[in-house]
Structure 1
Amino acid sequence: MAEKENPRIVLGVTGSIAAFRAADLASAMVQEGWEVHAILTPDAARFITPLTLAALTHRPVHTSLWEEGEGGRMTHLALAAAADVVVVAPASADCLARAAHGMAGDVL
């Protein structure tokens, strides 16, 4: 990764009891000067609200696979193309199993 002023981090949050810790992680990343774009799975939103992460990251939180971004491009495609790093924390067992089998049923 080339050195940037503000690296772009995509923070994926899955449905785990540890999801509330994503708020601390997002806050720490922002304090380091990182540009944090949060994605919540539907189950993650049962543990932490999109509003909480939006307030901490100063950016909208993505919760739907069908959101349309700039220029009509699907948000998840735009995030993936522009991200310097993708962090999934917490990564639930379900998320890991879906990733291992190539299943992509939500925005993360």
Structure 2
Amino acid sequence: MDRNDDARIKGRLNGDQPEAPRDGMGMRLLYMVIIAIMLSLSQTVLTLLTVVQFIVMLVNTGERNQRLADFGTDLGIWMAKAARYQSAASDVKPWPWTDLD
């Protein structure tokens, strides 16, 4: 990953956040439970992605599949945004409540 990709990813994680109204504690708890389930599913998807990418690299003598790599990056950014909401570092809910960007 070159320096421009690092800057782009950093902007997606820590850039300008849309204004988000604060939810009541009951609604926040509901969102946190739903997001926790989604995070668990995303870890399973990441594990499958890792296995598939490794097999692709074995077959292609070390060449990775760029689409899988890009999907992994997007998934990681989503997971980071979800973790920020879960830890109350942000009031912005991750996709599907906001744009995936």
Question: Where on the TM-score scale, by shorter chain, does this alignment land: which range?
Answer: under 0.3
For the pair shown, the structure with the greater C-alpha radius of gyration is 2
Q: Which has the higher helix share?
A: 2
**Richer in strand (by share):** 1
* TM-score scaled by length of structure 1: 0.21
Give the alignment's TM-score, normalised by structure 2: 0.22
